[in-house]
Each structure stands twice: as C-alpha cells, then as structure tokens.
C-alpha cells in the first residue's frame, strides 16, 4: 500500500489523519509539524503521497509544495484546508498540489483523494 507523509502543525489533526490512513492499509512514513520539516522528511523518506496543511509556522504549505516539487516534479501532494481558504487552495494547486481535502476530515473524502492522486 502507499507510503504517506502527513504534514500539519496540529498534532490532533495528524493523529486523525493517521488513524484514517492506517485503518485503510496505508503506511504513514513520517509526520511533520511545518513545511520545513516536511521538505526534509520528503527528501529522506520519498513517500508516495503527502497530505499538506496550508497554514503552518516556519514554512507554510504552499512554499513547502513549491520546494518539494522543485526537488521532485512528480511529487503527489494533497492539500488540507479549513473552510474559507479557497484562494490559498487555488495557489497550492497552481504550485503543483494534485487535490485538496477540507477539515474536519471525512474518511471517505480522504480515501477518495488518495485513490485519485495515486491513480
């Protein structure tokens, strides 16, 4: 099954996502609390897909998408956003993100996005 890197500054959000993923057979290879750590872990772990929060300290999700895609143009990244962040989601998609899921996470939508992105 696919290897996933979870990026979110809120530990409980990472835990919720990890729970959904692990229960459905995905392997979580890393968790990052900000974009800086996400880029570092991506290079180290080379996950199949990344779930990326937008608003985080040190480096936001949009900058992290740009850096990961500069390192690996084929990176598969799904943005995680709160309601009302449409402009930022669009910027992330332009920067190379493949899809987005809205918080609070609905397991069906998370799994649908992963299947779509992993093709």
Give the domain CATH number at 36: 3.40.50.2300
Cβ-contact 72, 91 below 8 angstroms: no
Percent of the chain scored above 90 by pLDDT?
Answer: 87
Cβ-contact 50, 7 below 8 angstroms: yes
Give this prediction's pTM.
Answer: 0.95
Q: How confident is the model at residue 9 (pLDDT cuts 50, 70, 90)?
A: very high
Query: What is the mean predicted confidence (pLDDT) over 29-57?
Result: 97
Number of domains present in the structure of the chain: 1
H or E stretch including 86?
helix 86-94
H or E stretch including 40?
helix 35-45
Distance CA 52, CA 41 (A): 13
Q: Token digits for 78?
A: 């799904």
Q: Which domain holds residue 76?
A: 3-118
Residue 87 has pLDDT above 90, yes or no: no
């Amino acid at each position: 099954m696919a290897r996933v890197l979870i990026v979110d500054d809120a530990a409980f959000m990472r835990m919720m996502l990890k729970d959904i993923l692990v229960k459905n057979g995905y392997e979580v290879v890393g968790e990052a609390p900000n974009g800086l750590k996400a880029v570092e872990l991506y290079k180290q772990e080379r996950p199949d897909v990344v779930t990326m929060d937008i608003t985080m300290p040190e480096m936001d999700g949009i900058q992290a998408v740009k850096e990961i895609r500069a390192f690996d143009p084929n990176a598969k990244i799904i943005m995680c956003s709160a309601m009302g962040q449409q402009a930022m989601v669009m910027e992330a998609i332009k920067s190379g993100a493949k899809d987005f899921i809205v918080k609070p996470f609905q397991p069906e939508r998370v799994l649908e996005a992963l299947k779509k992105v992993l093709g």
